Structure 1
């Protein structure tokens, strides 16, 4: 890989300091740091070692172009061997890096073709009735839990069990059994974080082992009696040679955990934002046609994924700078969505604006396969929750997930329902 030079100008040095704070500090509000990067070094050359080095993009136009550029590919095994030498010894990365998220071009398209029908419009239209009934039932149970002004953690009470129940329906597994491992799935997602302590790495690998154990018997059962669910589709793909066994487990764990973990993060953040902006909450509550546009605006304002990584497979020009082949490229999705060159008054929540072309679900070939599912969950749950509890209010400071650099959201959201 071409060696990077240290930032030379004062603006570049200040931007590198902001980037370090993003990576190594617990930032509940990273948006001022994003603004600093956009202004001082929108294409930052980072001299940090291994995966943390390379080029950091913070403007919407550059991030959007990078995500659509076929010369920028997910980290391959060869790249990982150079940049993260211990990845093969860890349960989570050994499986996660064999999933569709890290496959490229024809291999990526082949796996996407296999799973896409489960996330298509017709399948989700069938699922919407179940989703609505589940949300109504869980909101009713929530009312009993929050009686007499008790403080309720909305994450534990609804923003976790609701998307978990939906993804269990898609996979054909028992949500009551899956609930025991729900937080393991949330921990497993942290293998995507750019900075991980040894303690976090151990927890992530333990979570991977727990979830592999949870799915061992369902996989065996589908091999005996396949069905129409997503788990059966993945097992058939493995049995027919489309996936090897490691790819089967990697895609199974990725699709299952991401299928509810991202929604936990987004729903929790969206509720927090609406409770902090009661006029916007009133629009979502009172206007039956507002939900779709509101969801996109909330995704723009604080998406569940704030950063994505790529490798330059050949020299490429990004934001007017030449990026050498083999360089890591970090795309700051959270920054792109608040770029004033992309949207007016980016730090203002306006659920009527619609927020076209946000990058909450990335873009290009690797656009999130579950984007429609996540949108639908929010469109169903948020208006229902606000109508049932019009005086709901925050009862304390939310607990944000950690490390929270790549994956944003809340782990605890205390409210009084009234």
Structure 2
């Protein structure tokens, strides 16, 4: 019975391989190199020349790495060869690469044994994993040319590893040469690499919700500030809470068409922290205007460090005004902060027609409310009319209020915050 031989070695020079194969096959062939690394289960596009050869039914062989089993930190991968277009594989030389920072190579096992009746021949030291510590394992196989090569998918060899880190790591193929019957050039097709994802330390309940650590904070943990959750970890759990000192904050804004002192309004204020994606303030705040028409709020306590915030203000007869991505960098020597939004005045239009409640839309109802008041008289000082339509806070409803309304009627619905 013809003898087939399987060699696995770390360092096999191309000259030695040529001489050895010529001894068994009686032919000469030359090396070509191909390096390819792609994601798991993704095959890299073949070079244009190989695509053309494939179209002409040129025999090709794809090489893949697959994980075959795993137990704790130990796992095995298999090198598979898949002949295409009738290729009959008679030999190959392949280097498997891995990171010594993340993996320890511990053993190898021949899977493809074409002649189990014969003792497999190994080069000295090839079966000792201690000889493979630099992150590359060269695998070399060829068989007696008098016997046909294999033509179906074949698991060639099994490599055993231990994970020594929890990092994402890669096992790849390089410097591959594949010999098939009646071909002198390498018949290498596509190759793939194996990506081992970083190991997760997350625990989940029966509903796939992360099980998170709980924190018991002392009663006096944050007497002059606000307790804020730390950043979410990779499992989606909030980090350890921190205490953010409260800052006495005032907001300045303007109302379109109002330029006098002594006007007081109550406006809804909402502030969101874009980093934590949480709303840090949501309440009604009183504002009073000065002689320049600048409305300044009463002080509110905000837990803000270096933050990027969104802020929204909804006036009593106005559309919502939203300013996004405001960088806030409080002065550590000053316990107060002023948010100046006077460049974006509140625009009138959403009148409180439903028992003093706004509906969030500037539409025909609002227009008709003012129009009906002014249809019967050019000026109204009726308290009910003033409460819903005195947009410029003159103490009466006039055509000036109608003009201010018409300036923003086309803005329609309030933006979501």
Q: Which bin holds the TM-score, normalised by the shorter protein? A: under 0.3
| More strand per residue | 2
TM-score by length of 2: 0.20
| More helix per residue | 1
Which of the pair has more CA radius of gyration? Answer: 2
TM-score by length of 1: 0.20
Which structure exhibits the higher relative contact order, with contacts defined as CA atoms closer than 8 Å and separated by 6 or more residues? 1
